[in-house]
Amino acid sequence: MSESPTQTLPSESGLPPLDADGLLHLYREMYRIRRVEELAAKAYTMRKILGFCHLYIGQESVAVGAAAATKDDYWIAAYREHGHAMAKGMGAREMMAELFGKETGCVKGLGGSMHLFDSDIKFMGGWGIVGGHVPLANGVGWAIKHRNEGRVCCVFFGDGAAHQGAFFEALCLAQLYKLPVVFICENNAYAMGTAIERQSYLTDMSLRARGVGMLREQVLGFDVENVREHVGRASKYAREGNGPVMLEIVTYRYRGHSMSDPAKYRPKGELAEVKETRDCLQITEDRLRDDFGISESQLAEIRTKLDAEAQDAYDFAEQSAEPSTDKLYDYMYAPDNTVAPDEPVAPGGAK
């Protein structure tokens, strides 16, 4: 069966147009993420953050625009997820403290950069295996459908992940069962050091969806308003019970793959050209100034406040305690609630 000609994405998201306050909010969100990550980079070089650390700088408009359309929906992301967690509502303090491995972090310092999680804000992780997390969205989608929640699950992954078997399998079943999932491929032009043209004959990864009859769209991701509108349309379609949608959102990462990558594989001038012509903060600043009359000094004041907030998160993380070693094995297994408090337990825990 091929894609039904009667099925198309809605031409409008139904979200209200953004006024000055609405756009300022999105600007603040993007700036906060960038600033917090710049401080995370500083902490990393000082060995205050250990392990892997993949920065999202340059891509902020994707998570922030998507959050503006799906604030009360579930999200799952990969390992470049600091921005997603914050856009979904995680505070800068608990995010930074987690990167520092401190007990005040969102998962008590036991996860670190790639394993941010907070079910209260419906942020279902932070996953390190490329593409491995994509099928988890089907599980969440199935639960949403079963419980009639009227929500969607957005799953974010990279262009490199769109080559993985788990990704293809997830697409097949999501479409078969008409699950309320929005698959969002953030095409940031590279998978580690391999440029998109060297990874794939197709460079629009959303075309993968056509093989299973799923609606798809390629979206430019540098303008946060554009992302909000297109994720809004896709989530409207999925939320109304029509089935999943796949979006490829074109973006660009400014930093290396991880903190240890100097990114020497980029053609000369490429990064500078993107920063100059497509920087998401700059695009939004221009619009705030030109269309809403927000002055440069108002913007500067906002940035100063957010700089202080990011520094506060850094200080908070630095001053927080390390998790106690007593807790090393906590949270590994679900508590065994079947054992009464006074019931003797045989060695090894067998009953």
Residue ranges in contact with Mg ion by CB under 5 A:
158-159, 188, 191
Residue 257 near ligand TPP by CB under 6 A: yes
Q: Give the contact letters, 128-147, x = binds to ligand TPP (CB under 6 A), - = no.
A: xxx-----------------
Are 153 and 72 within 8 A, CB to CB?
Answer: no
Q: Using the rule CB under 6 A, give the single segment among 25-33, 68-76, 157-165, 295-303 that binds ligand TPP.
A: 157-165
Q: Of 158 and 232, which CB lies nearer to Mg ion in the complex structure?
A: 158
Q: Of 104 and 188, which CB lies nearer to Mg ion in the complex structure?
A: 188
User: Which residues, numbered 63-102, are part of the site for ligand TPP (CB under 6 A)?
Assistant: 80
For strand 215-220 and strand 245-250, is the pairing parallel, antiparallel, or unpaired?
A: parallel
In the complex, what is the shortest distance from the CB of residue 67 to ligand TPP, in angstroms, rounded to a whole number? 18
Q: Using the rule CB under 6 A, give the single segment among 99-107, 185-193, 281-289, 314-322 that binds ligand TPP.
A: 185-193
Q: How many Å apart are CA 162 and CA 177, to the nearest integer?
A: 20
Nearest to 54 by CA among 110, 114, 109: 114
Residue 104 near ligand TPP by CB under 6 A: no
- The entry of ligand TPP, Mg ion, none near residue 161 (CB within 5 to 8 angstroms by kind) is ligand TPP
Dihedral sign computed on CA atoms, order 116, 48, 92, 106 = positive
Give the tokens for residue 21. 């306050």
Which of residues 60, 81, 159, 248 is near ligand TPP by CB under 6 A? 159
Residue 172 near ligand TPP by CB under 6 A: no
Q: 125 in the Ramachandran plot: left (φ > 0), alpha (ψ -120 to 50) or beta?
A: left
Q: Of 68 and 161, which CB lies nearer to ligand TPP in the complex structure?
A: 161
Residue 125 near ligand TPP by CB under 6 A: no
DSSP 3-state assignment of 43? helix
In the complex, what is the shortest distance from the CB of residue 198 to Mg ion, in angstroms, rounded to a whole number? 12
Q: Using the rule CB under 6 A, give the single segment among 8-16, 189-197, 266-274, 316-324 that binds ligand TPP.
A: 189-197
Place of tokens 């917090």: 36
Distances in Å between the Cα of 346 and the Cα atoms of 203, 259, 316, 351 are: 58, 47, 43, 6
Distances in Å between the Cα of 238 and the Cα atoms of 64, 245, 272, 295, 325 are: 20, 7, 37, 39, 44
DSSP 3-state assignment of 118? strand
3-state helix, strand, coil in the chain (%, to 5): 45, 10, 45
Q: Of 79 and 316, which CB lies nearer to ligand TPP in the complex structure?
A: 79
Give the tokens for residue 165. 């078997």
Are 311 and 90 within 8 A, CB to CB?
Answer: no
Which of residues 126, 158, 180, 232 is near ligand TPP by CB under 6 A? 158
Q: Of 129 and 176, which CB lies nearer to ligand TPP in the complex structure?
A: 129
Place of tokens 């554009």: 226
Which of residues 65, 101, 125, 160 is near ligand TPP by CB under 6 A? 160
Half-sphere CA count of 141, side-chain side, radius 13 A: 32
Residue 191 near ligand TPP by CB under 6 A: yes
Residue ranges binding ligand TPP (CB under 6 A): 80, 128-130, 158-161, 188, 190-192, 257
